[in-house]
């Protein structure tokens, strides 16, 4: 992974001294960077923490001390980042160099139901609005504490209207991060909302530029072709058969090691400013999948992301059995039936 430029190299690349009140990278040179992770008891955090624990001085924040399976996550500081009284957790951000914002309230978790299957889509606004408010709380305390950069877990759902309406119907092959973020659900809307909420902070209008890398995560799980075939009921989000859902998740796959690389580089990339000098970068986060329908162009260019996995190779045996083998019978195309 790319190392942080130091001394003169850092000055040449413009990575230090660009915002007067931010804590400069240089202050962390002799020590590990101090990184605060929100939602640190959650699933995505579990993919990052093995690498993060080696590289950083961590502050792990969550509203619960156990993970989704009830196992204790070592080192968690409990805090409710949805609390509008920011004085309750502002102190945790003192001296922090970068924040990785993963905390997120599910609309279904409170009732223990499967993601997206209990609360009707029309009734999910309030919980998603609370997620936007939580992002604002985190951005604001990060700004006030002099944090240099925030890496935010966004989601492919921020622009999933394109996937649902156009990609699966063969009207569009690739979705790019610069396209208008339109979603057909409140979950995606809230992700797009807090991607855009970051821009005023990054613009410098408040006095200094708080840097942001917004990461639209794909499908950060192992993809199980045979299971897709057993459960061929249409997905609530993208419909389809077992074969088509398998194809979709091959395109969306993000391996654990690529996910760790993505967030590590989001924290460490030396210079994420765009051509206008605004440190606000929107990237997709998937592996180097042959069936990709989200562009990794900005991820590669801005933070130097170099994914190591391709679902086509990783799951070649399942693909042969389910999609391409003599008796597989799948239709043509990288997505859909
Ligand atoms: N898992 C996926 O498939 C996926 C895909 C794309 C994007 N994402 C995004 O990645 C992020 C992390 O997702 P995840 O799968 O790890 O979710 P998760 O539910 O496993 O973890 C979220 C964590 O946030 C914590 N949290 C909730 N409310 C909080 C609050 N008020 N204060 C402090 N902590 C709070 C929860 O306790 C939980 O541990 C989310 O923004 C999610 O939308 C996830």
Residue 76, beta-bridge partner list: 60
Ligand 1 pocket test: which of 44, 213, 222, 282 has the largest number of ligand atoms within 8 Å of its C-beta? Answer: 44
The answer to whether residue 5 sits within a structural domain is: no
Q: How far is the CA of 69 from the centre of ligand 1 (A)?
A: 14
Within a domain: 335: no
The parent domain of residue 233 ranges over: 10-322
- Residue 103 CB–ligand 1 contact under 6 Å: yes
Q: What is the spatial distance between Cα 152 and Cα 191, in angstroms, rounded to a whole number?
A: 10
What gap in Å lies between CA 250 and CA 260, rounded to an integer?
Answer: 19
Task: Reply yes or no on whether the pLDDT at 30 is more than 50.
Answer: no
Q: Is residue 140 part of a domain?
A: yes
**Please, are residues 290 and 174 in contact by the beta-carbon 8 Å criterion?**
no
| CATH label of the domain that carries residue 61 | 3.40.50.720
Number of domains forming the structure of the chain: 1
User: Is 70 part of any domain?
Assistant: yes
71-112 pLDDT, tens per residue? 999 999 999 999 999 999 999 999 999 999 999 998 765 444
Sign of the torsion angle spanned by Cα atoms 93, 96, 101, 103: negative
- Answer whether residue 15 shows pLDDT above 90: no
Which 8-state DSSP code applies to residue 175?
B
Whether residue 233 is contained in a domain is answered as: yes
Residue 62, strand partner residues: 78
Residue 125 covered by a domain: yes
Give the model confidence (pLDDT) of 303-331 as tens digits: 999 999 999 999 999 999 999 988 787 88
Q: What is the pLDDT of residues 124-179, one digit of tens each?
A: 999 999 999 999 999 999 999 999 999 999 999 999 999 999 998 899 999 999 99
Structure tokens at 3: 């190392």
280: which strand partners? 212
pLDDT digits (tens, 9 = 90+) for 231-254: 766 666 656 778 888 999 999 999
Give CA angle at 158 (68, 228), nearest 5°: 55
Tell which one of 52, 101, 104 to mutate to probe ligand 1, the residue whose CB is within 8 A of the most ligand atoms.
104
How many angstroms separate the alpha carbon of residue 39 from the centre of ligand 1? 6
Instruction: Name the phi and psi angles at 221, rounded to 5.
Output: -135, 160
Does the beta carbon of 60 sit less than 6 angstroms from any atom of ligand 1?
Answer: no
Residue 4 falls inside a structural domain: no
Question: Is position 56 within any domain?
Answer: yes
Q: What's the farthest any 2 CA atoms get from each other in the chain?
A: 64
Pocket test for ligand 1, best of 43, 45, 89 (most atoms within 8 A of CB): 43
DSSP designation for 314: H
């Amino acid at each position: 992974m790319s190392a942080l430029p130091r001394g003169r190299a850092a000055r040449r690349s413009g990575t230090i001294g660009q915002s007067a009140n931010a804590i400069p990278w240089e202050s962390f040179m002799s020590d590990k960077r101090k990184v605060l992770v929100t939602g640190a008891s959650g699933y995505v955090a579990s993919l990052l923490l093995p690498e993060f624990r080696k590289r950083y001085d961590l502050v792990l924040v969550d509203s619960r001390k156990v993970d989704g399976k009830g196992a204790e996550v070592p080192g968690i500081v409990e805090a409710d980042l949805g609390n509008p009284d920011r004085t309750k957790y502002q102190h945790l951000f003192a001296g922090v160099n970068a924040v990785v914002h993963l905390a997120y309230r599910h609309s279904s978790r409170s009732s223990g139901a499967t993601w997206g299957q209990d609360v009707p889509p029309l009734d999910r606004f309030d919980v998603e609005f609370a997620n936007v408010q939580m992002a604002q709380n985190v951005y604001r305390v990060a700004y006030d504490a002099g944090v240099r950069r925030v890496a935010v877990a966004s989601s492919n759902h921020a622009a999933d209207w394109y996937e649902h309406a156009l990609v699966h119907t063969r009207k569009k092959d690739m979705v790019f991060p610069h396209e208008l973020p339109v979603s057909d659900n409140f979950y995606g809307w809230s992700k797009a909302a807090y991607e855009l909420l970051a821009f005023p902070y990054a613009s410098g209008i408040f006095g200094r530029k708080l840097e942001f890398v917004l990461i639209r995560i794909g499908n950060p799980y192992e993809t199980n072709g045979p299971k897709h075939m057993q459960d061929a009921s249409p997905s609530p989000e993208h419909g389809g058969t077992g074969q088509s859902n398998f194809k979709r998740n091959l395109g969306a796959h993000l391996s654990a090691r690529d996910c760790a690389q993505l967030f590590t580089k989001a924290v460490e990339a030396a210079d994420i400013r765009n051509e206008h000098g605004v440190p606000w970068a929107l990237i997709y986060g998937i592996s180097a999948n042959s069936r990709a329908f989200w562009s990794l162009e900005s991820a590669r260019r801005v933070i130097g992301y170099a994914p190591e996995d391709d679902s086509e190779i990783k799951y070649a045996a399942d693909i042969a059995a389910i999609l391409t083998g003599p008796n597989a019978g799948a239709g043509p195309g990288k997505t859909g039936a």
